[in-house]
Amino acid sequence: MKRPDGITVLAVWHFVQAFFILIGACSLLAIPLSGVFGEINDPIGEFWAGFGVTCGVIWLLLTGIALVLSGWGLLRLKQWARWLAFVLAIFALFAFPIGTVIGAVTIWYLLREETRDVFEAAETGMLAEEEPPVEEGEAA
């Protein structure tokens, strides 16, 4: 038994999401550096604007890191990555309409008995790579 294609697709999806989210975090980080906040003449407004951008950057970085870890763990069939992907899919449900559909399909896929069995088999070491077929005439 090998890793199902659905898990590979899900892991790649997490890596793609992480890439764009981390690019967004870097872009958001560039806003205060560009001097945009220099236009604000209110010190309290400048503080809250900077605070909001900082919180946004931190949230995006944490989300991007969680997606990378989840994708990496899914490729290695780690049980913790299955649950992390499940939690991330719950958050995706709020990104209507595309995120809702993708999050719902992800939750459905991760809760399937076949998917759970693959992760449990990998956890116990029962998951083995497919062996090449033995041709006639070769000793087995």
Each domain of the chain, given as residue ranges in start order, spans 5-124
One digit per residue, the tens of pLDDT, for the chain of length 140 reads: 589 999 999 999 999 999 999 999 999 888 766 666 666 677 787 788 888 888 999 999 999 999 999 999 999 999 999 999 999 999 999 999 999 999 999 999 999 999 999 999 998 887 655 555 556 665 55
d(CA 67, CA 71): 6
Distance of CA 10 to the CA centre of its chain: 8
Q: Which of 50, 14, 15, 7 is nearest to 29 (CA)?
A: 50
Q: Which two tokens stand for residue 102?
A: 């993708």
Tokens of 29: 């980080």
In our burial notation (b when 16+ CB lie closer than 10 A, e otherwise), range 101-134 reads ebbeebbebbeeeebeebbeebeeeebeeeeeee
For the whole model, what pTM was predicted? 0.81
Contact predicate 56/28, CB 8 Å:
yes
